[in-house]
Amino acid sequence: MSRIAYVNGRYVPHADAAVHVEDRGYQFADGVYEVVLVYDGAMVDELPHLDRLDRSLGELRIAQPMTRPALRSVMRELLRRNRIRTGLIYMQVTRGVARRDHPFPKNAEPALVMTAKRIALPAAAAIENGVKVISIRDIRWERCDIKTVALLPNVLGKQQAREAGAHEAWQVDDAGCVTEGTSTNAWIVTKDGELITRSANQSILNGITRLSLLRLAEQEGLRFVERSFTLEEAKQAREAFISSATAFVTPVTQIDDAVIGNGKAGSVGLGLRRAYLDYAAGAGRTA
Ligand code: PDD
């Protein structure tokens, strides 16, 4: 079955899905995006993702491409046409098409594209073994809270990780503290069992998965705190993991050369992963 994409009002074969060369997303990375998990036939945390999309658009003063009910119906139609039960929806809104010039164009309409793809969940053994991350300097701008398509530092960081045989790169600020991964939020569990993730300000993307995990941690009665942690503290941690709409909770068992805990996924991370998957199959769904 061929994939279908949504491009500015039309459902088109994925292979033919294209935007104009003077789309400002293409020219200036002048746009924002969201990635929404689809789990067992339903979207997970759909409304928080759409709220964050609205926020990103507002911060960049890009108009909404359509009303929320219209957007939600495009998302559903795309899933239906692609017959996706477990996968991802990617949506991107740019400031639109205009003659290339840096200031905001006067008459451009925001452009919306959406794609959907299937994903396979990792095998239990892969989760148990965890992944390796490397540390890199955080060279990004001061508005990492906006989910913009300007992802060059993230792309370079992820590539550096891959070339080092690692899954992710944790970005480290000038104070020696971990901000986040290149496409995930970063978490540790200290030796005395406290769960830590950086508090959300302009130096990280406030992950929707991160927010759900904090709520689940609270419900599970875990001790947690939102604060910065240094790379050294992370290397001494009992557990570490990453979170995102695509990674859920993925245990980290090595940071640079340091083995975390006993080199296997830790119980807090595994417990939160289970809790998140239950949430994705239950309270987090929208039909
Ligand atoms: N990435 N931090 C960064 C820099 C991200 O790009 C992402 C998401 C996250 C986690 O956010 P959420 O829990 O809302 O997915 C944190 C998406 C999945 C991506 O770029 O593909």
Domain at 124-286: CATH code: 3.20.10.10
CATH fold of 4-118, please?
Answer: D-amino Acid Aminotransferase; Chain A, domain 1 (3.30.470)
pLDDT tens across 171-224, in order? Answer: 999 999 999 999 999 999 999 999 999 999 999 999 999 999 999 999 999 999
Residue 244 Cα to ligand 1 middle (Å) = 5
> Tokens in use for 259?
């083995």
Q: Is 210 in the pocket of ligand 1 (CB under 6 A)?
A: yes
> Tokens in use for 243?
């979170």
pLDDT at 287: 81
Whether the model pTM is above 0.75: yes
Mean pLDDT calculated for residue range 68-79: 98
Rounded distance between C-alpha atoms, residue 232 and residue 110, angstroms: 44
DSSP 103-140: SPPSSPPPEEEEEEEE-PPPPHHHHHH-EEEEEEE---
Q: Is the pLDDT of residue 130 over 70?
A: yes
Q: Is 30 in the pocket of ligand 1 (CB under 6 A)?
A: no
Residue 15's CB is within 10 A of a number of other CB atoms, namely: 9
Q: Indicate the domain borders of the chain.
A: 4-118, 124-286
> Of 87, 86, 93, nearest to 70 (Cα)?
93
Determine contact, residues 268/193, Cβ cutoff 8 Å: yes
Mean pLDDT calculated for residue range 104-133: 95
For the question of residue 147 being annotated catalytic, the response is yes
| Candidate from 32, 34, 35 with most ligand 1 atoms within 8 A of CB, to mutate | 35
* 3-class secondary-structure state, position 55: helix
pLDDT tens across 246-261, in order? Answer: 999 999 999 999 999 9
pLDDT tens across 20-44, in order? Answer: 999 999 999 999 999 999 999 999 9
Q: Is the pLDDT of residue 1 over 80?
A: no
Question: Which candidate in 147, 158, 191, 235 is catalytic?
Answer: 147
Q: Enumerate residues 6+ apart whose C-beta is below 8 A from 23.
A: 94, 96, 97, 111
Q: Enumerate residues 6+ apart whose C-beta is below 8 A from 113.
A: 5, 6, 7, 8, 17, 19, 91, 92
Q: Enumerate residues 6+ apart whose C-beta is below 8 A from 222.
A: 195, 268, 272
Ligand 1 atom 2: the closest Cα is on which residue? 184
Q: Is the pLDDT of residue 144 over 90?
A: yes
pLDDT tens across 202-212, in order? Answer: 999 999 999 99
